[in-house]
Amino acid sequence: MRINKFLAEKGVASRRHADEIIQAGRVTVNGILATLGVNVEDGDEVCVDGQPLSREEKQEKYYIMNKPKGVICTVSDDRGRKTVMDLLPEDAGRVFPVGRLDYETEGLLILTNDGELSYKLTHPTSEV
């Protein structure tokens, strides 16, 4: 598995942000500085900032929220608006909203770290 996907599955960062972490020299595989595109195999020791990542399987998390009006449906906002992430408990971990609701819309929203479920919900006619 590619290193950026591995880091994303471990909840370290999104794949895109994982690439930035790797390029910054913050990731090692078996004590060797990781490069973009390197593959991680079972038994490899992967460290971020010198801290080894657990080899345990990722535990999927699911949250169902009634998104109120005046909250943006995104993980972060560069304009400082309140996001759905601000409404989750502090220990929610790295999750993301499935789908979108407009800023002034309220309604049911699912947040998860389960990428496969997210894909199936947003692409109902696609095969995974």
19 is catalytic: no
Exactly one of 42, 44, 86, 102 is catalytic; name it. Answer: 102
4: nearest Cα among 38, 30, 43: 38
- What is the C-alpha to C-alpha distance for residues 27 and 59, in angstroms, rounded to an integer? 22
Residue 69 near residue 105 (C-beta atoms within 8 A): yes
3-state secondary structure of 70: coil
Return the active site residues: 102
